[in-house]
Structure 1
Amino acid sequence: MQDFIYYNKNGLDFPVSEKIQVTTSLDGLDNQTFLISNTKDVKSEFVANEIDFYIKNSQDNLPNKISNVLELYEIAVTKYDLSQDISYSQEISKELLVVTNSEEQFKEFTKYLNKDDFDIYKINENILKSIEGHIGNLKVTVDSNGKDVVLNVSQIVWFDAKEEGLKQSGTFDPNLSSIEEVISEIKNNLNSYSYKKFTTYDKTICQYDGRRNVICGKCEEVCPTVAITKDDTTKTLTFSQIDCHGCGGCISVCPSGALDYAPTNKESLFEVSKFYKNKHPLIIPKKMDIENLEINLKEGVFPFAIEGEKFLHESSLLTLLQMSGSQIIFYSDFLSKGTNDAIRILNDICQKRYQKDAILVAMNKEELEIALKEVSFIENSYFNFNQEGLKKREIFSHRLQKIVANDNLGEVKTGEHIHYGKVEINQDTCTLCLVCVGACNVDALIAEPKDNTLRFNPSLCTSCGYCEVSCPETNCLTIKRDIIELEPNWFKDNILAQDKLFACVECGKEFATAKAIEKIAAIMSPIFSSDPVKERSLYCCADCKPKIMMQSYFNQKMEGLNNGK
Structure 2
Amino acid sequence: MQEFVYYNPVGLDFPLDESIFVASTIEETKDANFLISNSTEVESEVSADEIDFYIKNSNDSIAKKIENVHKLYEIAALKFDFAQDITYTQNVGNKLLLVANSDDAKEFIASINPNEFDMFHVSEDIIKSISGHIGNLSVVVDDEGKDVILKVDQIVWFDIKQMGLNQSGSFDPKQSSISEVINTLRANIEEYEYRKFTTYDANICQYHERREEICGRCEDVCPTTAIIKIDSKKHLEFSQVDCHGCGGCISICPSGALDYAPINRNSIYEMAKEFKGSIPLIVPDKMNISKLNIDLKQNVLPFKIEGEKFLHETSFLTILQESGSQVIFYTDFLSKGSKDAIRILNDIYIKKYGKKAIFVAMNEEELSQALEEVDFIENSQFSYNQEDERKREIFAVRLSALVGQDDLGVVKTGENVHYAKVNINEDNCTLCLSCVGACNVDALKAYPEDNTLRLNPSICTGCGYCELSCPEKDCLTIEQDVIELNSSWFLERVVAKDELFACVECGKEFATKKSVEKIANMMAPIFASDPNKQRTLYCCETCKPKVMLANDVVRNQRV
The bucket for the TM-score relative to the shorter chain is over 0.9
- Which amino acid in the other structure matches residue 159 of structure 1? F
Aligned to 2:451: 452
Aligned to 1:51: 51
Deviations 1:85-125 (A, max 9, x none): 1111112111101123x222211110101013211111222
Segment of structure 1 superposing worse, 170-179 or 250-259: 170-179
Aligned to 1:563: none
Aligned to 2:170: 171
- Which amino acid in the other structure matches residue 188 of structure 1? A
Please give the secondary structure, in 2, of the residue aligned with 1:27: helix
Deviations 1:283-336 (A, max 9, x none): 000000001101111110011000010111111111111100000011111111
Correspondence 1:80-159 to 2 at 5 A? 80-100=80-100, 102-159=101-158
Aligned to 1:207: 206
Aligned to 2:264: 265
Paired residues of 2:38 and 2:51 also in contact (CA < 8 A): yes
Tell me how far apart the structure 1 counterparts of residues 422 and 2 of structure 2 sit (CA, whole Å): 56
TM-score, normalization: structure 1? 0.97
- Which amino acid in the other structure matches residue 50 of structure 2? E
Tell me how far apart the structure 2 counterparts of residues 318 and 262 of structure 1 sit (CA, whole Å): 19
Aligned to 2:72: 72
Q: Which 4+ stretches in 1 moved above 6 angstroms?
A: none
Aligned to 1:188: 187
Deviations 1:379-423 (A, max 9, x none): 101111111232100000001011111111011110211000111
Aligned to 2:246: 247
- Which amino acid in the other structure matches residue 27 of structure 2? D
Deviations 1:204-224 (A, max 9, x none): 000011111110111111111
Q: Structure 1 residue 149: deviation in Å?
A: 2.4
- Which amino acid in the other structure matches residue 233 of structure 1? S
Q: Structure 1 residue 3: deviation in Å?
A: 1.0
Correspondence 1:62-461 to 2 at 5 A? 62-100=62-100, 102-461=101-460
Q: Structure 1 residue 500: deviation in Å?
A: 0.7
Q: Structure 1 residue 188: deviation in Å?
A: 2.1
Sequence identity, in percent?
61
Aligned to 2:543: 544
Deviations 1:318-357 (A, max 9, x none): 1111100000011111111100100000000000010000
Q: Structure 1 residue 24: deviation in Å?
A: 1.3
Please give the secondary structure, in 1, of the residue aligned with 2:98: strand
Please give the secondary structure, in 2, of the residue aligned with 1:150: strand
Tell me how far apart the structure 2 counterparts of residues 112 and 441 of structure 1 sit (CA, whole Å): 56
Q: Structure 1 residue 193: deviation in Å?
A: 1.5
Segment of structure 1 superposing worse, 438-447 or 526-535: 526-535
- Which amino acid in the other structure matches residue 545 of structure 1? K
Please give the secondary structure, in 2, of the residue aligned with 1:371: helix
Q: Structure 1 residue 488: deviation in Å?
A: 1.2
Tell me how far apart the structure 2 counterparts of residues 524 and 255 of structure 1 sit (CA, whole Å): 42
Paired residues of 2:308 and 2:331 also in contact (CA < 8 A): yes
Paired residues of 2:327 and 2:358 also in contact (CA < 8 A): yes
- Which amino acid in the other structure matches residue 201 of structure 1? Y
Tell me how far apart the structure 1 counterparts of residues 34 and 543 of structure 2 sit (CA, whole Å): 73
Segment of structure 1 superposing worse, 235-244 or 143-152: 143-152
Deviations 1:191-244 (A, max 9, x none): 221111111000100001111111011111111111111122211111111111
Tell me how far apart the structure 2 counterparts of residues 199 and 69 of structure 1 sit (CA, whole Å): 30
Q: State whether structure 2 residue 464 is matched by structure 1 residue 465.
A: yes
- Which amino acid in the other structure matches residue 385 of structure 1? Y
Tell me how far apart the structure 1 counterparts of residues 126 and 320 of structure 2 sit (CA, whole Å): 54
Q: Structure 1 residue 541: deviation in Å?
A: 1.2
Aligned to 1:27: 27
Tell me how far apart the structure 2 counterparts of residues 323 and 104 of structure 1 sit (CA, whole Å): 57
Q: Structure 1 residue 30: deviation in Å?
A: 4.5
Paired residues of 2:129 and 2:139 also in contact (CA < 8 A): yes
Deviations 1:342-374 (A, max 9, x none): 000000000001000010111111111111111
Q: CA RMSD in A?
A: 1.2
Please give the secondary structure, in 2, of the residue aligned with 1:505: coil
Correspondence 1:8-23 to 2 at 5 A? 8-23=8-23
Please give the secondary structure, in 1, of the residue aligned with 2:56: helix
Deviations 1:54-105 (A, max 9, x none): 11111111111111111111111111111101111112111101123x2222
Paired residues of 2:426 and 2:496 also in contact (CA < 8 A): yes
Point out where structure 2 has 5 or more consecutive residues left out of the alignment. Answer: none
Tell me how far apart the structure 2 counterparts of residues 214 and 42 of structure 1 sit (CA, whole Å): 50
Q: Structure 1 residue 441: deviation in Å?
A: 0.6
Tell me how far apart the structure 2 counterparts of residues 404 and 239 of structure 1 sit (CA, whole Å): 38
Tell me how far apart the structure 2 counterparts of residues 518 and 37 of structure 1 sit (CA, whole Å): 72
- Which amino acid in the other structure matches residue 184 of structure 1? N
Please give the secondary structure, in 2, of the residue aligned with 1:520: helix
Q: Structure 1 residue 482: deviation in Å?
A: 0.4
TM-score, normalization: structure 2? 0.98
Paired residues of 2:2 and 2:32 also in contact (CA < 8 A): no
Tell me how far apart the structure 2 counterparts of residues 10 and 136 of structure 1 sit (CA, whole Å): 45
Segment of structure 1 superposing worse, 482-491 or 143-152: 143-152
Tell me how far apart the structure 1 counterparts of residues 242 and 373 of structure 2 sit (CA, whole Å): 40
Please give the secondary structure, in 2, of the residue aligned with 1:548: helix
Paired residues of 2:282 and 2:305 also in contact (CA < 8 A): yes
Tell me how far apart the structure 1 counterparts of residues 134 and 12 of structure 2 sit (CA, whole Å): 43
Please give the secondary structure, in 2, of the residue aligned with 1:478: strand
Deviations 1:114-169 (A, max 9, x none): 01321111122232221111111111122334333222111001122221211211
Aligned to 2:39: 39
Correspondence 1:457-536 to 2 at 5 A? 457-536=456-535
Tell me how far apart the structure 2 counterparts of residues 143 and 33 of structure 1 sit (CA, whole Å): 54
Q: Structure 1 residue 558: deviation in Å?
A: 4.1
Tell me how far apart the structure 2 counterparts of residues 174 and 298 of structure 1 sit (CA, whole Å): 41
- Which amino acid in the other structure matches residue 61 of structure 2? N
